[in-house]
Chains A and B, each alone.
Chain A
Amino acid sequence: MDIVRTLVRLWPIHLVVLVVSIVSQLIGVRPIPIGIGTILLLPLLFAFVFTLVLNPHVVPAVGRFLSAKRTAAAGPLIVIAIMPFIAKFGTTIGPGIEEIVRSGPALVLQELGNLGTILIAFPVAIWVFRMGRESIGAVHSIAREPNIAIIADRYGLRSPEGTGVMGVYVMGTLFGTFIFAILASVLATAEVFSVEALAMACGVGSGSMMAACSGALAAAAPESTDTITALAGASNLLTYATGMYVSLFVALPIVERIYLRVRPNDPANPPARTAEEAAK
């Protein structure tokens, strides 16, 4: 009867989620036109903001109604709540399999686009913000769970690299859905890239970011919704399979090498490597 007891203990959380979700769904998709395109505010973004305001850590006064201990139980529920969503995505890939196969090369190659993180974020971290080795953790990937595991395994989470990856992880948790919804809606309405390409780029290995990204695309191009979900879902699945290896064997060695070249005398560098670099 343990199952029932936990359910009874958690009902306030489920109730809050139910009410907030209904309100957000009723608000629907709200477009905000800006010069180069349109930002689309999605129900899932509203839901996140509303529960953020109901979070006792963010607004302490809420603690009287919803204890911090209770909200801690919401953590594992995120993964479970994303499961039916992912299942729905899977069911859009099957019927679109011909299109997926036809876009196979693009789908596989775009995974390398994830290295774009290094291209624009690394220089800013190193030369503009003068960050140390935390920049390695910060820019080697989009810092979702598998990437944190890699950094934790190699450097430990208390290291500078760990601080970097945790920083981007947390920022992604807080703002990732917004950033992807904005990026996707602006790029879709600006018509720089094809909607198929933008859909493939949505699969970054995070369910909620993919949701915001493909949701914004679908709202911008409703006639292509099936194509968008099929390609985004396929790309996301591919990222689960390959993402960890790309960041471990390609991205991390690249940023590690560039960093040692740029800052050979950083005392935080691994000792053997610094000596080796100094000998050159």
Chain B
Amino acid sequence: MTTYTSEEDFVPTSDDRSIVLGDTLRDLAVVTLISVPLQLIATDLTVLQVLAGLAALYVVCILGLLLTKYLPFYLPSVAWISLVGIVLTLPFMPWAEWFTGLVVGIDFLAMAVPALAYAGLAISKLELDVMRRSGWKILIVAILVFIGTYVGSAAIADLTLRFTT
């Protein structure tokens, strides 16, 4: 359990290689189980289909975590998990049709709900202090930063798509 005592302690970067696999797989299983009722609400899938789909995603996460931990070059665990998901569903892979069939009905928006619920609980005193101290000016700057990124990226993508397709 982490309690931040100074700003130096609060470097929200995680070295994914130091993850304890047993604990992570347990928490991952809990989070996956929480998703079961959410998927039943969000989709028309049967309980069995939901369990199969979530189990498949669980396996993708495990493979991604193993790659993060044991491969000699480093990428964040989420990047590896993403790559495993891609490779398993590439059309020319022999198992692609079967695997895609398992996960295709899973609602992606419902998958994000528990993560944000944990995020709301995890807001610490330190973060509230930073917000109070930095004040509304930094809030406005932050909003402009996000608008700048989003509109900038969308504009370039839109232009490029117009020329290339």
CB of A120 within 8 A of CB of B144, answer: yes
CB of A16 within 8 A of CB of B117, answer: yes
CB of A47 within 8 A of CB of B91, answer: no
- Is B11 located at the chain interface by the 8 A CB criterion? yes
In the complex, residue of chain A having the shortest beta-carbon distance to the beta carbon of B78: A86
Q: What's the minimum C-beta distance from A253 to chain B, rounded to whole angstroms?
A: 18
Q: What's the minimum C-beta distance from B156 to chain A, rounded to whole angstroms?
A: 4
CB of B10 within 8 A of CB of A157, answer: yes
**16 pairs across A/B with beta carbons < 8 Å?**
A44-B115, A75-B2, A87-B81, A87-B84, A90-B85, A94-B91, A94-B93, A103-B161, A110-B153, A118-B148, A124-B144, A129-B137, A142-B145, A145-B14, A168-B145, A208-B115
Q: Is the interface of B mostly helix, strand, loop or mixed?
A: helix
| A162→B46 CA distance, assembly (Å) | 49
**Given known A55-B120, A113-B152, contact A237–B79 (CB-CB < 8 A):** yes
Binding site for B on A (CB under 8 A): 3, 6-7, 13-14, 16-18, 20-22, 24-26, 29, 42-45, 47-55, 57-58, 66, 68-69, 71-95, 97-98, 102-103, 105-107, 109-121, 124-125, 129, 131, 134-135, 138-139, 141-143, 145-146, 148-149, 152, 157-158, 162-164, 166-177, 179-180, 183-184, 187, 193-194, 196-198, 200-202, 204, 207-208, 211-215, 218-219, 229, 233, 235-237, 240-241
Size of the chain B interface, CB-CB below 8 angstroms: 104
- Is B13 located at the chain interface by the 8 A CB criterion? yes
**Given known A167-B138, A167-B142, A172-B146, contact A90–B154 (CB-CB < 8 A):** no
Q: Which residues of A contact B141 (CB under 8 A)?
A: 121, 124-125, 129, 131, 135, 138-139, 167-168
Q: What's the minimum C-beta distance from A113 to chain B, rounded to whole angstroms?
A: 3
Q: Is the interface of A mostly helix, strand, loop or mixed?
A: helix
- Is B12 located at the chain interface by the 8 A CB criterion? yes
Q: Which residues of A contact B113 (CB under 8 A)?
A: 21, 24-25, 43-44, 47
Binding site for A on B (CB under 8 A): 1-3, 7-8, 10-14, 22-24, 26-28, 30-32, 34-35, 37-38, 41-42, 54, 57-58, 60-61, 64-65, 75-79, 81-91, 93, 96, 99-100, 103-104, 106, 108-125, 127-128, 130-131, 134, 137-158, 160-161, 164-165
